[in-house]
Amino acid sequence: MSEWELLSRIAAEVPRAGDDCALIPFQGTNLLLTIDVLHRSADFPAGTDPYTMGWRAVAVTLSDIAAMGGKPLAVVLALSAPDLEEPFEGILHGAGDCAQAAGCELVGGDLDISEELFLISSGLGEAERPVPRSGARPGDRLYLTGPLGRTYLALLFFSRGKATAANELFRFTPRLREGQLLAGIATSMIDLSDSLAHSLHILSRASGTGFRVEAERIPLLQGIPREELEHVLYFGEDYELLFTAPPEALPPGPWVEIGEATPEPGIRLSHGGRLKAIADRGWEHGASQASPNRHLSERRRKP
């Protein structure tokens, strides 16, 4: 069974899956619920410290809430590890600090024993005006909240033994403030847990538009040469927000315009005057990146 077949079968069983968080209408507003699995072999290279593991486990879930324009209410964290000597305290400390920095709280969890270390976080949020993946319209401009390459560079640092710098990059700040500023303004939004390339295809399928991206405008983290743009494009785990909006509606903020939504389908990269199709890569299981996580999460329930 291909991953596509699998995902379409999942869609049949979980028809409400399709956005970064599940949306639950509640008392005149919407609750957001999301869950994310991280585990040692896929997500924590040698050198990742426990505090960073806990921080990152919470941050990936808060990033999903950010991608819907939501406000986080609480996070729970489940830990499973080979023995009780695992550095649970450091993990919980990092998880708690990340939640607190985002204005919410680590409120509980579950503890278990397994051969491989697993950290699973579930986040609860609220969004009065949730931003779906499906609302991009031709003519909308395409934006990022910041430069790409965070995890790409972190893994390079880990592989070279620069653990301090690598851990710092791994402890990213979820773009909650930016997401909330964009609620009611962005027409579609997603967080870059998968690659920019794959995320563009997701927005494209959900919205029924294509995208034209200007290669020169894609911001890269300091330390990444422009020649590596294509690697970064397909790499993933940048954890910036990718969104569309009509330019006149955008409030001041750290937005970087990188292209626009087009009526014709397909994702095209404009580079030195030439147009090139961007393939739907950067999300396969087993790809050589830190986390090939796949999100089932969710199609927005139509009001």
Q: How many CB atoms lie within 10 A of CB 101?
A: 16
Residue 185 makes contact with a second copy by CB under 8 A: no
Cβ-contact 232, 220 below 8 angstroms:
yes
The torsion angle over the Cα atoms of residues 130, 136, 139 and 141, rounded to 10 degrees, is 60
Cα→Cα distances 225→195, 232, 235, 268, Å: 18, 10, 15, 22
Q: How near is the Cβ of 63 to a second copy at its closest, in Å?
A: 13
Residue 10 makes contact with a second copy by CB under 8 A: yes
Token digits for 113? 């024993």
Residue 57 makes contact with a second copy by CB under 8 A: no
Residue 13 makes contact with a second copy by CB under 8 A: yes
Q: How near is the Cβ of 68 to a second copy at its closest, in Å?
A: 12
Residue 296 makes contact with a second copy by CB under 8 A: yes
Q: How far is it, in rounded angstroms, from Cα 131 to Cα 300?
A: 9
Indicate the residue type of 47.
Answer: G
Indicate the residue type of 111.
Answer: L
Q: How near is the Cβ of 211 to a second copy at its closest, in Å?
A: 25
Q: In this chain, which of 53, 57, 76, 245 binds a second copy, going by CB under 8 A?
A: 76
Q: How near is the Cβ of 91 to a second copy at its closest, in Å?
A: 9
Q: How near is the Cβ of 19 to a second copy at its closest, in Å?
A: 8
Q: In this chain, which of 145, 180, 207, 293 binds a second copy, going by CB under 8 A?
A: 293
Query: To which H or E segment does residue 105 belong?
Result: none
Q: How many CB atoms lie within 10 A of CB 46?
A: 9
Q: Which is nearer to a second copy, 116 or 216 (by Cβ)?
A: 116
Residue 294 makes contact with a second copy by CB under 8 A: yes
Q: How near is the Cβ of 154 to a second copy at its closest, in Å?
A: 20
Indicate the residue type of 262.
Answer: T
Segment lying near a second copy (by CB under 8 A), choices 70-78, 170-178, 225-233, 262-270? 70-78
Given its phi and psi angles, is residue 48 left (phi above 0), alpha (psi -120 to 50 degrees) or beta? beta
Site string for a second copy, 99-128 (x = CB under 8 A): ------xxxxxxxxxxxx-x-x-x-x-x--
Residue 6 makes contact with a second copy by CB under 8 A: yes
Residue 14 makes contact with a second copy by CB under 8 A: yes
Residue 227 makes contact with a second copy by CB under 8 A: no
How many C-alpha atoms does 293 have within 13 Å on its Cβ side?
A: 26
Residue 21 makes contact with a second copy by CB under 8 A: yes
Q: Which is nearer to a second copy, 201 or 268 (by Cβ)?
A: 201
Pairing state of beta strands 241-245 and 118-126?
Answer: unpaired
Residue 285 makes contact with a second copy by CB under 8 A: yes
Residue 279 makes contact with a second copy by CB under 8 A: no
SS3 per-residue string spanning 238-265: CCCEEEEECHHHCCCCCCEEEEEEECCC
Nearest to 296 by CA among 31, 35, 1: 35
Q: Point out which residues bind a second copy (CB under 8 A).
A: 1-3, 6, 9-10, 13-14, 16-17, 21-24, 26-27, 29, 31, 33-37, 39, 41-42, 73-74, 76-78, 80, 84-85, 88-89, 92-93, 96, 105-116, 118, 120, 122, 124, 126, 285-286, 292-298
